[in-house]
Structure 1
Amino acid sequence: MPEIAARPRVKPRLKPERPRLYKVILVNDDYTPRAFVVGVLKAEFRMSEDEAHRVMITAHRKGACVVAVYTRDVAETKAARATDAGRAKGYPLQFTTEPEE
């Protein structure tokens, strides 16, 4: 019986897919003090005073503002922690997440 040379198996190279990114969105409310919102943005999202103030004012004027973009688990964790910081002080501060287009 003739021997058949074994061909090396070639695995197709799969290009790893980049994880889908999610936006963290600050939703405006008329009750949470501006200084508190700025403080949460600085603490949770490591923003400077100026950056945090700009995001807060944009949310105030437009109703909502994208704060940052992360992978899903990071975005959801940061949004929940920031929302919880407001709830702990009795404010209706709300951060949401949604997939980036």
Structure 2
Amino acid sequence: MGNKHENSTILERQAQKLKPPSMFLVALLNDDYTPMEFVVAIIQEYFNKDRETAMQIMLKVHRDGKGVCGTYSKDIALTKVELVLTHARKAGHPLQCVMEEV
């Protein structure tokens, strides 16, 4: 009869051990060739930012060498990196997009 209580205690302990999934930031890196306007368009299209926010991120990339566009779960971050790199290459730009665990 005591099994129900024991099982719930074990489940609670297991739940405490589970970490929330890792999150990853996605950032763009500065280069001397990709046009600023292209970077702004990428940020708006793939990271759902308004033009003003996209401009601020682009300027951070330009000034600091790197600008964070958002934080996502691993799968979404990987997809965003792939989409940005594919778009940039098709447009003939060397823009780099990276992800880092938070």
TM-score (norm 1): 0.87
Match in the other structure for 1:59: 61
d(CA) in 2 for partners of 1:7, 1:62? 61
Q: Amino acid of the residue matched to residue 50 of structure 1?
A: E
d(CA) in 1 for partners of 2:3, 2:92? 65
**Unpaired runs of at least 5, structure 2:** none
d(CA) in 1 for partners of 2:2, 2:55? 64
**What count of residue pairs does the alignment treat as equivalent?**
95
1:1-101 mapped onto 2 (5 Å cutoff): 6-9=1-4, 10-11=6-7, 12=10, 13=12, 14-15=15-16, 16-100=18-102
Q: Which has the higher helix share?
A: 2
Give SS of 2:19's match: coil
d(CA) in 2 for partners of 1:51, 1:83? 21
User: Identity, % of aligned pairs?
Assistant: 32
Write out the 4+ residue segments of structure 1 that deviate beyond 3 Å after TM superposition: none
d(CA) in 2 for partners of 1:30, 1:76? 25
Structure whose alpha-carbon radius of gyration is higher: 1
- CA drift of 1:50 comes to 0.4
- CA drift of 1:83 comes to 1.4
TM-score (norm 2): 0.87
Q: Amino acid of the residue matched to residue 54 of structure 1?
A: Q
Give SS of 1:26's match: strand
